[in-house]
């Protein structure tokens, strides 16, 4: 794509050149017409000068010996129709013509003729059109060439104006280039031209969003490092204990602890990666996705964990409905809801899923028979790495944060309620897909 400066120079140069050409054509045409009018006036004045007496014209009379090297041809007729004077007898000029201005061809060449009567005599003055045109062209060219000389000067002025007009834009670009990567201070809109103020305001909004994203990333990295430090330190200690174990029983216990620690660290890393994917998903991923299919995949992903804890997890109601959501994000959200419910439910408990239509939208409900969440903590459980006091060991505090992030992208609303089977009910209400989605 061409630069703004190149486009302005190209368009303004074209405008100047077109204007110069149009102006030159208009001036040329006007000069030619004015020259014709001047030459006609000269013909008339020359005829008027011959109206009094014989005026001492050389060769005046029947025996004329006029010159052939003049531009004008003069003929005079007596009242009786007898030609009494001709300035160039070798030319076969027309006889008495119509009074006023006429055009005629003499020996194949066009002539301009003016005729008038005075004192009974008829006076005719003629001039070759070729001579008139040559003189008119000279006059018109002298009128046009100053216009053509002005065009290069205008182009220089245009280049200077464009460069000067774009100076504030170059200044703004230099300021942005010299900014630090973490600098998010807003630019003062009133310090730039009014035409650039909307761009500056948009950039300030971008700086603010970038700052928020950067702060969130820093907080996320700090929290992730803090959360990873504990299981890694525990793993290190358990590996040391495994190396010091001398009997089979002690080694078995140490191995179980190492395995549990690895499982916790793996789960935390998986949750961190899932949260990163939820944060970086593109809006173009939004498409109609089956909610029932996402629930079935979530149940199949957690079936081993549910069976190991003796938990009855199943889909009680499954109305086939599609919601507008990123497919991977929706499956990740439902999987985290089911995984949280299974982990928080005591052994031998229940986890029930229901999917049904709610007006033009859809609802997903996940019930568990676990301890639930106290009402005063429900507003905080969607924060990253937050875990309640009654939370079992091994969690990461990221499951509901991932759910909230995906739900926000889908435009869904989350409610935390008391489940009829004694634990927590998580209800996710999905809006109706927009027309054309």
Residue 354 is predicted with a pLDDT of 92
At 225, the pLDDT band (50, 70, 90 cuts) reads low
Q: What CA dihedral angle connects 290, 291, 296 and 299, to 10 degrees?
A: 150
**pLDDT reading at 284 higher than 70:** no
Q: How far is 110 from 116, CA to CA, in rounded Å?
A: 20
In CATH, 283-430 is 3.10.450.50: no
Residue 237 is predicted with a pLDDT of 73
**pLDDT reading at 117 higher than 80:** yes
Cβ neighbours of residue 371 under 8 Å, at least 6 residues apart?
344, 390, 423
For 122-191, give the DSSP string.
EEEEEEEHHHHHHHHHHHHHHHHHHHHHHHHHHHHHHHHHHHHHTHHHHHHHHHHHTS-TT--PPP-GGG
C-alpha distances out from residue 330 to 13, 275, 293, 327, Å: 56, 13, 10, 5
- Which residue did the predictor score with more confidence, 163 or 349? 349
Closest CA to 326 of 252, 209, 248, 409: 409
- Which residue did the predictor score with more confidence, 159 or 350? 350
Same fold, 4-159 and 180-280: no
**pLDDT reading at 337 higher than 80:** yes
Q: Where are the domains of the chain?
A: 4-159, 180-280, 283-430
- Which residue did the predictor score with more confidence, 159 or 175? 159
Q: Give the residues across from 19 on adjacent strands.
A: none
Three-state secondary structure call for residue 378:
coil
For 249-275, give the DSSP string.
HHHHHHHHHHHHHHHHHHHHHHHHHHH
* CA angle 423–425–427, rounded 5-degree value: 175
For 275-328, give the DSSP string.
HHHHHH--GGG-EEEEHHHHHHHHHHHTHHHHHHTT-EEEEEEE---EEEE-HH
Element (H, E) at 358: strand 350-358
Q: What CA dihedral angle connects 149, 154, 157 and 162, to 10 degrees?
A: -150
Q: Average pLDDT in the 236-243 region?
A: 73
**pLDDT reading at 408 higher than 60:** yes
The Cβ of residue 246 has, within 10 Å, a number of other Cβ atoms equal to 7
Q: Read off the pLDDT of residues 354-366 as tens digits, 9 standing for 90 and up.
A: 999 888 889 999 9
Identify the architecture of domain 180-280 in CATH.
Orthogonal Bundle (1.10)
- Which residue did the predictor score with more confidence, 17 or 389? 17
At 429, the pLDDT band (50, 70, 90 cuts) reads very high
- Which residue did the predictor score with more confidence, 278 or 416? 416
Residue 67 is predicted with a pLDDT of 47
**pLDDT reading at 220 higher than 70:** no
Q: Average pLDDT in the 199-213 region?
A: 78
Q: Read off the pLDDT of residues 32-75 as tens digits, 9 standing for 90 and up.
A: 888 888 888 888 888 888 876 554 444 444 444 444 445 788 88
**pLDDT reading at 103 higher than 60:** yes
Q: How far is 435 from 437, CA to CA, in rounded Å?
A: 6
**pLDDT reading at 211 higher than 50:** yes
Q: Average pLDDT in the 81-85 region?
A: 83
Q: Average pLDDT in the 119-135 region?
A: 86
Closest CA to 296 of 274, 263, 320, 272: 320
Closest CA to 363 of 292, 424, 423: 292
- Which residue did the predictor score with more confidence, 389 or 371? 371
- Which residue did the predictor score with more confidence, 163 or 233? 163
Identify the architecture of domain 4-159 in CATH.
2-Layer Sandwich (3.30)
Mean pLDDT of the chain: 77
């Amino acid at each position: 794509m061409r630069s703004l400066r190149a486009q302005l120079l190209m368009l303004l140069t074209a405008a100047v050149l077109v204007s110069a050409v149009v102006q030159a054509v208009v001036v040329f045409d006007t000069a030619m017409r004015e020259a014709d009018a001047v030459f006609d006036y000269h013909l008339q004045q020359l005829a008027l000068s011959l109206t009094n007496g014989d005026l001492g014209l050389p060769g005046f009379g029947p025996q004329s010996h006029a010159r052939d090297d003049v531009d004008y041809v003069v003929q005079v007729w007596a009242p009786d129709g007898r030609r009494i004077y001709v300035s160039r007898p070798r030319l076969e000029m027309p006889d008495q013509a119509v009074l006023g201005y006429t055009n005629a061809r003499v020996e194949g060449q066009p002539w301009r003729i003016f005729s008038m009567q005075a004192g009974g005599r008829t006076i005719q003055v003629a001039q070759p059109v070729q001579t008139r045109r040559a003189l008119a062209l000279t006059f018109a060219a002298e009128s046009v060439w100053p216009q053509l000389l002005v065009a290069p000067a205008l182009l220089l002025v245009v280049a200077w104006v464009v460069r000067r007009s774009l100076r504030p834009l170059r200044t703004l670009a230099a300021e942005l280039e010299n900014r630090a990567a973490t600098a998010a201070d807003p630019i003062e809109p009133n310090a730039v031209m009014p035409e650039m103020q909307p761009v500056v305001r948009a950039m300030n909004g971008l700086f603010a969003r970038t700052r928020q994203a950067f702060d969130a990333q820093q907080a996320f990295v700090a929290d992730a490092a803090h959360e990873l430090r504990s299981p890694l330190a525990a793993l290190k200690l358990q590996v040391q204990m495994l190396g010091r174990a001398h009997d089979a029983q002690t080694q078995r216990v140490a191995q179980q602890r190492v395995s549990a620690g690895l499982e916790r660290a793996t789960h935390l890393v998986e949750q961190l990666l899932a949260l990163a994917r939820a944060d970086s998903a593109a809006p173009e991923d939004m498409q109609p996705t089956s909610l029932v299919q996402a629930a079935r995949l979530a149940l199949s992903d957690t079936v081993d964990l549910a069976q190991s804890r003796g938990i009855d997890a199943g889909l009680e109601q499954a109305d086939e409905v599609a919601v507008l959501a990123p497919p991977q994000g929706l499956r990740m959200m439902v999987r985290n809801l089911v995984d949280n419910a299974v982990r928080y439910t005591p052994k031998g408990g229940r986890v029930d899923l229901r999917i049904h239509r709610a007006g033009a939208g859809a609802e997903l409900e996940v019930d568990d028979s676990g301890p639930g969440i106290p009402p005063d903590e429900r507003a905080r459980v969607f924060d990253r790495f937050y875990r309640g006091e009654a939370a079992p060991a091994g969690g990461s505090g990221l499951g509901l944060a991932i759910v909230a992030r995906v739900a926000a992208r889908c435009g869904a609303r989350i409610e935390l309620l008391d489940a009829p089977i004694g634990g927590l009910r998580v209800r996710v209400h999905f809006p109706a897909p927009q027309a054309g989605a």
